Amino acid sequence: MPSEDLPSSRWDLPPAESADEDGLVGVGADLEPATLIDAYRHGLFPMPLAGLGPPEPLGWWSPDPRAVLPLDGLRVTRSLRRSRRRFEVRLDTAFAEVIAACADPSRDGTWISPAIEAAYLRLHQLGWAHSVEAWTPDGNLAGGLYGVAVGGLFAGESMFHRTADASKVSLMGLVEVLRAGGATLLDVQWTTPHLRSLGAVDLPRRRYLELLAHAVRQPLPAVFAGGSTG
């Protein structure tokens, strides 16, 4: 379970509504657990400002529109259902390996710096960050994703695959967990053609913040206390 005794953040992050046209709210602050969780609760997430480093300044973002994946809107094709049977989906059994794979510098467009990787490992140790993994029958990690759970919000951060459809199967597993646990909001930040093909939609920032305010007041899905989705 998450550690609820986080200290108050020492940063007063700007409101999400103050973002510029690119969705940038502010630059700086830190990646302490209290800062991160306060940011997610108020509709912000961190991502370095590319091209300005090293070290790249830390940006805080609130895009408009905001991409979400409706929990009743995941598009599952017949072939993806077949792929689901080829993997075992697990929760929180290889968080460090998942985030390391997502941060692999050989991947195109990776933005996960060593500082961010370390910060989310710490969040995982405190019970706030989670991974969903797809494993092959012979025990190899084929793909996965990670993100942050705050009440009924799951803020997806990144995913990877080593085997075809493994990241999609991990996403299927996440949606199953969230629906079973009563979560209400799966945030995926920005839409991409890949996410759109899986059912992601854009919401106006104002609507996203309304849904977020409701979600973070909900109970955390019990499965995030530990276990496997099977």
pLDDT in tens, 50-64: 755 567 899 999 999
Compute the distance between CA of residue 38 and CA of residue 218 in angstroms, rounded to an integer. Answer: 16
Long-range contacts formed by 50-59: CB under 8 A, 24+ apart? 50/111, 55/113, 55/115, 56/113, 57/27, 57/28, 58/27, 58/28, 58/29, 58/30, 58/31, 59/24, 59/25, 59/26, 59/27
Residue ranges of the chain assigned to CATH 3.40.630.70:
66-225
Mean of the per-residue pLDDT values of the chain: 93
pTM: 0.94
Write the CATH number of the domain with boundaries 66-225: 3.40.630.70
> Which residue bears the tokens 């209290």?
34
Reading the block at residue 197, the tokens are 């093909």
Reading the block at residue 88, the tokens are 């075992």
Task: Using the predicted structure, report yes or no on whether residue 28 has a pLDDT greater than 90.
Answer: yes
